[in-house]
Amino acid sequence: MENKFGFVSLSGRTNVGKSTLLNAFFQKKIAITSRKPQTTRNRILGILTEEKTQIVFLDTPGVHLGYKRQLNKVMNKIASHCYEEVDLVLFLIDRFKWQKEEENILKSLKNLNKPVVLVINKIDRLSDKSKLLAFIKDISEKFNFLSIVPISALKKNNLMELKKVILNNLETGPHHFPEDSLTEFSDNFFISEIIREKAINRLGDELPYRLNVVIEKINDSKKLKTIYAAIITESQSQKGIILGKQGSMIKAIGTAARKELEKEFSKKVNLQLWVKANKNWTNDINKLKKFGLGVDF
């Protein structure tokens, strides 16, 4: 059997389960997950190598319609760039939800001339599964999908069928990455994403999208990893919310992050966490670039 290789994009509106699916494929955390939308900001590159097959997953940020801040524009730009270089697109939707966002994504996919697999996620939460076949029939008329696969990324239902569809549509070619590669991102990025995830899951609906995490220093020894990290937000009032009463919120965020990091690195972690206010950073392209979010393509 010859080697196979391909770039596969996970596309869809925010919060349809793209990061959960990516993590399920790898059976470990590659991208952060949250019930809140807008949590994926970067082109998280997951590299799955199994025997002679290598799949490079691009977990694109969800498409942001109606948002005018520079951060949202950057996230849309990342999503568009990912489409251009992929061999196959997995278009995820949340059960039977098909709204303006899905129509806009489908419109852009039609212009790409790339094979698209429609992935109907969260089927474990369907109250009436008998409607699934009728929905698939209706949705098939919108576009000539390569395949339509219902799954539950969270419960790992039907993932083998989805993987089979992917493998059957990869081109023959050499692998581009070492076999033991999982992601192109550094430990610093991974650590910052874990901290950001824990903050997002503990804060209100609006505030999480005004924060970023910067790793300022790491001291690493055989038995202990000491991490110095700052949560960046836009104002003193937001800083107060993240700190919480007598520091209770930042302590909870730090404790949750530390426990997960200890599990990931198999050693004790000393996490030193604080908050900095950086006015209007999500709407300043120079500040976005400083934080690694304003990449020019």
Angstrom distance (rounded) from CA 150 to CA 97 = 13
Angstrom distance (rounded) from CA 77 to CA 183 = 21
CA distances from 76 to 68, 92, 118, 121, 284 (A): 11, 16, 20, 22, 16
Angstrom distance (rounded) from CA 211 to CA 190 = 16
The CB-side HSE value for 93 (13 A sphere, CA atoms) comes to 23
Specify binding-site residues: 12-19, 59-63, 121-124
Query: Are 4 and 173 a contacting pair, CB within 8 Å?
Result: yes
Which of 109, 62, 104 minimizes the C-alpha distance to 84? 109
- β-pairing, 224-233 with 171-172? unpaired
Specify binding-site residues for GTP: 12-19, 59-63, 121-124
Q: Which residues pair with 217 in a beta bridge?
A: 228
